[in-house]
Chain A
Amino acid sequence: MTAETATEKEPVEKETFLNVFLRNLWSSNSVTVTALSIVLAVIIGAVLIVVSDSAVLAKFSYFTARPGDALDASWTLISSAYADLVKGALGDPQAFSDWMSGAGTWQNAFAPLSETLTYAAPLVFTGLAVSLAFRGGLFNIGAQGQAVLGCVAAGVAGFTFGLPIVLNLIVALIAGALGGALWGFLPGLLKARTGAHEVITTIMLNYTAGLFLAWLVIQQGIQQPGRSDAISKVVAESAQLPSFGGVLRVHLGIVLAVLTTAGVAWLLNRSAFGFELRAVGSNPHAARTAGISVAKTYTLLMAIAGALAGLGGATQVLGTAYALTPSVAGNIGFDGLLVALLGRNRPWGTLLAALLFGALRAGGNRMQSFTGISLELVTVLQALIVIFIAAPALVKAIFRLRAARAAGLGVSPAKG
């Protein structure tokens, strides 16, 4: 984007630098729209915070008499909420100065960052699972189910085999990938062989996987001995992803995530299969004419996407949860969907988006415990960001009406 700005700046001399810079910034969609989307989501979030707080709302009842009260209270509430969000995600300056002065430990200073990375790790995998499939023209809504199967396979492998250290972890991770791959392979095969739409089949497989997990964890041999609730045995220590321990929950998963992102980027942009899948994604008919087997590509692509999501599930079980429960996968599959959309289906973009979501989640925890704002606000923020990202014309319409007409994907609707 900066390169564009630099090159296009020179020929135009009549306009001021600022004008040109703004115009180019405006036309380079992705960064501006992403930033504006986040701003919009944060504003709407602020409104929600105020509207749902009865104490502040009460001050609005005499707004005309003393507007200062209401505005003051709103500002205090919003700023403390968002400050906690940032502190919980990146770090509390107080904790850093404590560490410097010797009053606190370095672990406490870095704990927020560790939380961010911990939450981001599985999202990177599920996000990649969605974005890779997207590039091949498939909408993989099944990342949730694939992640669940990944959890199951990795978890079961983790407490069953009892292999030596390192090997056990590798086997558990591979098992997770295979579990997810199976759950991705099925819709891929159905799509290739029968044309069954992957959106429908993967939605259905998500719930099937969830029910299967709910059944599995209460079976003998899986359920933790001595427990009557739905929880499995604990994954052997040798199969757990190594972490710093203590308050620093961050584990090897985030490193694997970065490596996997690089791998996916290579697969997508440098490998023969990546070329095929992009060809199929942009035009399956042309790809078929060019001799690419569309059916094979779809099947293989979904299996790989499933394996990625399965790894996401595996990091969840082997890195943080350590035991299977019906909700062990949380919402990582659906969050991965948002992450992929926010990352514009590019591997490194997905990684960044996952980090943002991880930060929101980690910060949300602190916001919930310190300011008492429900963690659900984070879900709202995430959904809003993606809604705005998906509709760039809408964002532009909100910020500047005239630009929206031009940017509306070249469409000028006949009716208003």
Chain B
Amino acid sequence: MSTTTVEAPTEVAAPEPFWTRQRRFGVALVLLGALAAVVFGSLAPSKDARFTLTQEAEGAALSINGQFGAVLFGVLTLLAGGLLVAGLLKRWSNALLVIGIVTFVLSFLCWQVAGQFMSLEDTLSGTMDLALPLVLGALAGVLGERSGVVNVAIEGQFLMGAFAGALIGTMAGSVWAGLISAAVGGVIIAAILAVLSIRYLVDQTVVGIVLNLFALGITGFLYERLMQPDAAKYNAPPQMPTWKIPGLADIPVLGPVFFDATLLLWIALVLVLVIHFALNRTRWGLRTRAVGEHPTAADTVGIRVRGLRYLNVLLGGVVAGLGGAYFTLVATGSFTKNMTAGAGFIALAALIFGRYTPFGAFGAALFFGFAQKLAFYLSAINSPVPNQFLSMLPYLATIIAVAGLVGRVRAPAADGLPYIKS
């Protein structure tokens, strides 16, 4: 979606060049750090916050006094912000930013976990579980949007994929048939999106939104007509097996999450690398980017703009469909109506927050997954912090990112514009 600027591009927060991006980040971090040190520090009980390595409450753990930790990490956030504001260590400004954010989160955790325990393995695996469909959905978005087709139908592709995976998986009695049909389910929605927006020049956002409702309706309809009356026959798909890699799976924390996992996790991780490489290093990638930025120029040098867009949107359908498979073939054992519950839109948020790049989308998906996992954790330990506000984090972060309050996101120039060959 092209972020057309209205009036003169007003960098509201930065009237003078003194306020560089780093300095603004710095000020934000200083404020956050002060908040963390004072508020979190004073609220935190002076008990140990234990971060256990395994799932159990006992055993090896990183432990710190909650109050001390909250203050310490808050001060560290403040320091990182101070360095940014002062303009010191300019070469490390991105690292400082990351340190600032991480220490802020740690300060928050010290406050919340004090007197309790938090399993690092459980947190990481929960984060990966929640992030997995987001990664795949966001990658589908990358494929489409980098070639200039806005895809707000990720949610619909998820639903279709989840539904097709459950239905065919059950009928064929094979999880692999389910996985393939989930991809086909995603492709069906992608194909409608592609034909309507590329061939019939319908507004891409309109098509996407309507397709979401279409997918919601048709999966809900067939669910109530087929799956609900006879769940055993239509809605009991076999689950994806977890494969354990001997040796590697014994690494603490990381091992059980990454090396005792389903194929889908590995597919997602590999796809991040493959799509990143392909976009930046192959002929297809160069052409995709050219078509997304300046289709007329691309056409002039003989690239088939529409053909490439069809290809990319359909490939995106495959990827998003696989993301849908996660819901029925990995996370739960059956399809339910509207089971994706907005995950497709968080994937869209991850895509935008990740600046339309595979690595960025992956990072954003992990961040959003972590925020959600944290929300579950907080409600499980009856934290006074309402988990709904943590669940809002992905959406708010995306708004802040597109508004350019902290580093503007730039969409591909021709994103959302149909190409009409003159």
Contacts and interface: CB of A to CB of B under 8 A. Distances in A.
A390 B207 contact: yes
Contacts of A380: 214, 217-218, 221
Interface size class of B (residues with CB under 8 A): 35 or more
Interface string A339-353: 001000000000000
A199 interface: yes
B260 interface: no
Nearest to B307: A415
Interface string A301-342: 000000000000000000000000000000000100110010
A101 interface: no
Contact of A390 (B5, B202, B307, B396): B202
Interface in B2-26: 2-7, 9-10, 12
B395 A193 contact: no
23 contacts: A54-B226, A139-B205, A192-B7, A193-B10, A193-B403, A195-B9, A197-B2, A197-B3, A200-B348, A201-B403, A204-B399, A294-B6, A294-B7, A295-B7, A338-B210, A373-B225, A376-B216, A378-B217, A387-B210, A409-B201, A411-B420, A415-B304, A415-B307
Given A139-B205, A195-B4, 18 more contacts: A53-B225, A141-B209, A193-B12, A197-B2, A204-B345, A207-B395, A212-B388, A215-B386, A294-B7, A377-B221, A379-B213, A379-B214, A379-B217, A383-B210, A390-B210, A408-B200, A411-B421, A413-B306
A307 B221 CA distance: 33
A384 B306 contact: no
B5 A391 contact: no
B210 A199 contact: no
A374 B218 CA distance: 10
Contact of A376 (B3, B211, B221): B221
Which has the most chain A C-beta neighbours within 10 Å: B196, B201, B209? B209
Given A207-B392, A413-B199, A387 B7 contact: no
Contact of A203 (B201, B206, B307, B348): B348
Contacts of A255: none
B388 A207 contact: no
B241 interface: no
B222 interface: yes
B196 A391 contact: yes
A382 B220 contact: no
A200 B1 contact: yes
B138 to A, nearest CB: 14
Contact of A196 (B3, B220, B392, B420): B3
A65 interface: no
B6 A376 contact: no
Complex A-B, nearest 3 residue pairs according to Cβ-Cβ distance, in ascending order: A379-B217, A52-B225, A383-B214
Interface string B370-410: 00000000000000001011011001101100111100100
Given A204-B399, A394-B196, A415-B306, A211 B225 contact: no
A214 interface: yes
Interface in A126-165: 139, 141
A12 interface: no
B342 interface: yes
A413 B421 contact: yes
Contacts of A215: 386, 388-389
Q: Helix, strand, loop or mixed for chain A's interface?
A: helix
Interface in A35-68: 48, 52-54
A279 B2 CA distance: 20
A115 B52 CA distance: 57
A403 B201 CA distance: 17
B349 interface: yes
A384 B214 contact: yes
Interface residues of A, number: 58
Interface string A394-416: 10000000000000110101110
A377 B203 CA distance: 25
Contacts of A377: 217, 221
A387 B209 CA distance: 10
Which has the most chain B C-beta neighbours within 10 Å: A212, A284, A384, A387? A387
A138 to B, nearest CB: 11
A269 interface: no
Contacts of A183: none
B224 interface: yes
A141 B329 CA distance: 31
A183 to B, nearest CB: 12
B220 A334 contact: no
Interface in A205-261: 205, 207-208, 211-212, 214-215
Contact of A338 (B202, B213, B345, B349): B213
Contacts of B319: none
B152 interface: yes
Interface of A: 48, 52-54, 139, 141, 190-197, 199-201, 203-205, 207-208, 211-212, 214-215, 284, 288, 294-295, 298, 334, 337-338, 341, 373-374, 376-384, 386-387, 390-391, 393-394, 408-409, 411, 413-415
A414 B218 contact: no
A379 B395 contact: no
B352 interface: yes
Given A208-B396, A374-B225, A376-B224, A192 B6 contact: yes
A254 B222 CA distance: 33
Contact of A200 (B12, B217, B402, B405): B402
A217 to B, nearest CB: 10
Nearest to B349: A204
B152 to A, nearest CB: 7
Contacts of B211: 383, 387
B232 to A, nearest CB: 14
B387 to A, nearest CB: 8
Given A52-B225, A204-B395, A413-B306, A284 B6 contact: yes
A207 B203 contact: no
B24 to A, nearest CB: 13
A387 to B, nearest CB: 5
A298 B391 CA distance: 29
Which has the most chain A C-beta neighbours within 10 Å: B192, B199, B304, B421? B199
A349 B400 CA distance: 36
B213 A376 contact: no
B340 to A, nearest CB: 13
B210 A207 contact: no
Contacts of B192: 387
Contacts of A386: 210
Contacts of B5: 194-195
A108 to B, nearest CB: 28
